[in-house]
Amino acid sequence: MTISPRTFSAPPEVQTFDGVLSDFDGTIVDSTDAIVKHWHQIGAELGVDPEVILATSHGRRSIDTMALYDKSKANWEYVNFIEGRIPKEYGSDAKEIPGGRDMLAALQSSGAKWGVVTSGTRALIDGWLGVLGLPHPEMLVVAEDVELGKPDPRCYLLGRKKLGIESSSVVVLEDAPSGIKAGKAAGFKVIALATTHSLDQLKEAGADWVVEDLRSVSVKGVVDGRVQIEIRNALQ
């Protein structure tokens, strides 16, 4: 039996949700080069191989990463300081994920209930939004807002609460397995972007749809307060 190769070719479908919650780094913005330089700098300061740090840092809060190597620096004052300097020092190393700017603009202009749920600190997210001139979400859940980061679901549950949504009819936009697992554990649907991890990792984490990037996801409209999301060329 011949197994057909997986392709991004599923027919368009429209799904309706009460709200949209999006991850930030790897979903809206690609700051990989900046983050690599950042952790090389931190690794040098700590005397730790930066490649060891980078192997597990994506999608994880810096405070949780720091706790593995130097508990004395696993505090919000230090983490906000080091993350706040990333956009200032490495701003030219970040770029938008294709479709990211359009998605934020469409969510903002449509009147949909939406927000960003990120493992980054407020200092980091505010910095990137400013450097890249992206629409600023009114609802933002950042690393310091929850006791446990992704894959724990409480960040996404807090996002739903802040949006005033009581149902589980929420869609999460994510790129990292830890975030996908957090969204699914919260009881939400997850659209995964193949921007930072392998297709196998995204499927194994439980993604409901896998697309190449946000060019395959669009806001069709808001009807009776519910947002209609079109998903095109998903993996099949």
Structural domains of the chain, ranges and CATH numbers in brackets: 8-31+94-235 (3.40.50.1000), 32-93 (1.10.150.240)
The size of the chain, in residues, is: 236
Q: What is the pLDDT of residue 166?
A: 97
Angle made by CA atoms 88, 90, 96, in degrees to the nearest 5: 105
User: For residue 182, which of 147, 149, 137, 143 has the smallest C-alpha distance?
Assistant: 149
User: Which residue among the candidates 23, 30, 175, 213 is catalytic per the annotation?
Assistant: 23
What are the pLDDT digits (tens) for 199-224?
999 999 999 999 999 999 999 999 99
What's the pLDDT at 4?
A: 54
Residue with tokens 């984490």: 205
Render pLDDT for 6-27 as a digit per residue (tens, 0 to 9): 899 999 999 999 999 999 999 9
Annotated catalytic residue within 25, 30, 175, 213:
25
Q: CB neighbours of 220 closer than 8 A, spacing ≥ 6?
A: 14, 228, 229, 230
25 is catalytic: yes
Tell me: the pLDDT tens digits for 36-56? 999 999 999 999 999 999 998
pTM: 0.92
Residues 6+ apart with CB under 8 A from 217: 99, 103, 173, 191, 211, 229, 230, 231, 232
Q: Are 202 and 90 in contact (CB under 8 A)?
A: no
pLDDT of residue 6: 85
Residues 23/176, Cβ–Cβ less than 8 Å: yes
Q: What are the tens digits of pLDDT across the range 175-196?
A: 999 999 999 999 999 999 999 9
